[in-house]
A = this chain, B = another copy of it.
């Protein structure tokens, strides 16, 4: 059973792309994990160039690594087996970096939201990444808490106990307080109702990235054809004062965005995903949490409160996915097509069955 023909002896060298909250969190985890080695950090922001990685990721010590803002140089210096990408949300941006990595025979775990199920946004780009990964003998997969876990992979896992399913409802109610001004602005926090609507029109208020990805991951895995998806974004108007380090929201103003998506099959709503994101939901009597309800044979209901913390979970998923990806066949994968990422608590090399086949080891 998963018998080991040849153990990996050297640590798995990991290049982290991204020097924001996620990239730094992932880099710290990589440093902590036996069997993984932080091989480098790539930052898009030019002001990061040359900074010491240790200080940049919040350690109180220097590491023998500098930040690179040129990807080719970062790869040359790091000679990584695998890269974890935390630089962007969109497939169009993510795929450029990913293609460059794949061409160098580097496996890629991406937390870009649209990489959770890239065949939805662009079947052509997904095919291209698959072909490139296959040709270079490496794998690529998207992960993250949402899309990637709570509203799709966990739904799929629970569906396994069902012989029939009529409909699926899942919701994730979270608190935006841990996030910075960019995320808050994307949910319209602090706006008035009219500015929120204008923000939806001009694209500055976006709500959640990833409902179509989650829905298609679920539907394709279960074997459902989806006709169309209705998405709706409405402002969450607070009745109480809510304060964060970044801004204060007075009663009557927008505390966040209630984003929902309903997917239709044969004219019936079969998947309903709800994701209200706001600051301090408890101040207005709203409990945070994750909830999945499957109506079928049998019915399945599972819920947890508070919600699984998104930032911590996304960093963990990205790192925990590394052995799963390295054990998989070359190509583009989705989280639903690999064994579930499990907490990596032992030596990562013990979880990797195949010798890393890399150009520099040839």
Q: Residues of A at under 8 Å CB distance from B?
A: 1-3, 29, 32, 118-119, 126-127, 130, 145, 149, 153-154, 156-165, 221-224, 290, 296-298, 300-305, 308-309, 312-313, 315-317, 319-321, 331-334, 336-347, 350-351
Contacts and interface: CB of A to CB of B under 8 A. Distances in A.
A184 to B, nearest CB: 21
Q: How many copies does the complex hold?
A: 2
A299 to B, nearest CB: 9
Contacts of A29: 163
A341 B321 CA distance: 18
B346 A1 contact: no
A298 B312 contact: yes
Judged by DSSP, the binding face of A is: mixed
A340 B160 contact: yes
B161 A316 contact: yes
Given A2-B333, A160-B340, A162-B313, 17 more contacts: A1-B127, A1-B331, A2-B331, A153-B340, A154-B157, A157-B340, A160-B343, A162-B343, A163-B312, A163-B319, A163-B343, A165-B343, A222-B342, A222-B344, A297-B312, A297-B316, A336-B339
Nearest to A224: B345
